[in-house]
């Protein structure tokens, strides 16, 4: 994906991060931190940032594991997977070849952008809900 850079390799699959992922990391860290101010009042303000960051980072690790699962299933079905890229709405597994049988593509999972964005949509919905509960008061 253009605008991304490699950060590592897992099971022979390149892991990349798109620049929009950094925006998501910052925004989600702030929003989750806001949520923690309501759930756990009285902490030092820097702890809300740390907790928000850890929760957000853990969420993206889950997205990465999800994409790795797709990629390993695709590989087990004979498809070559070149990379996984995390971006603001989730992750994308990149195949180097298209499956010949539609069934393989179906069982390979959601490879289109709209389907890939489902985890991101859930995250955004949770963040927006938390933001509405907290308001723009800042931490
Ligand atoms: Zn998926």
Q: What is the pLDDT of residue 97?
A: 72
Model confidence band, residue 137 (pLDDT cutoffs 50, 70, 90):
low
Q: What is the pLDDT of residue 114?
A: 46
pLDDT tens track for 30-78: 999 999 999 999 999 999 999 999 999 999 999 999 999 999 999 999 9
Between strands 90-95 and 81-87, the pairing is: antiparallel
Cβ-based burial of 43 (10 A; exposed 0-12, middle 13-18, buried ≥19): middle
Q: How many A from CA of 66 to the centre of ligand 1?
A: 6
If one compares 9 and 112, the residue with the highest pLDDT of the two is: 9
Q: How many A from CA of 51 to the centre of ligand 1?
A: 26
Q: Per mean pLDDT, which of 1-5, 11-15, 96-100 is the most reliable? A: 11-15
78-to-14, 96, 109, 119 alpha-carbon distances in Å:
18, 11, 14, 26
Q: What is the pLDDT of residue 106?
A: 45
Q: How many A from CA of 139 to the centre of ligand 1?
A: 33
> Across residues 11-21, what is the average pLDDT?
95
pLDDT tens track for 95-117: 887 666 655 554 555 554 445 55
Q: What is the pLDDT of residue 2?
A: 84
Q: What are the domain boundaries of the chain?
A: 4-134
Helix (H, G, I), strand (E, B) or coil at 79: coil
Positions marked active-site: 67
């Amino acid at each position: 994906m253009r605008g991304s850079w490699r950060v590592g390799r897992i099971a022979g699959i390149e892991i990349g991060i798109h620049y929009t992922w950094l925006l998501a990391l910052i925004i989600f860290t702030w929003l989750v931190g806001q949520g923690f101010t309501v759930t756990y009042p009285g902490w030092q303000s820097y702890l809300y940032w740390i907790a928000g960051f850890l929760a957000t980072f853990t969420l993206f690790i889950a997205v990465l594991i999800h994409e790795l699962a797709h990629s390993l299933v695709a590989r087990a079905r004979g498809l070559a997977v070149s990379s996984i890229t995390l971006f603001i709405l989730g992750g994308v597994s990149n195949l180097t070849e298209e499956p010949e049988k539609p069934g393989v593509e179906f069982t390979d999972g959601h490879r289109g952008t709209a389907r890939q964005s489902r985890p991101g949509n859930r995250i955004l919905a949770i963040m927006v809900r938390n933001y509405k509960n907290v308001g723009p008061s800042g931490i």
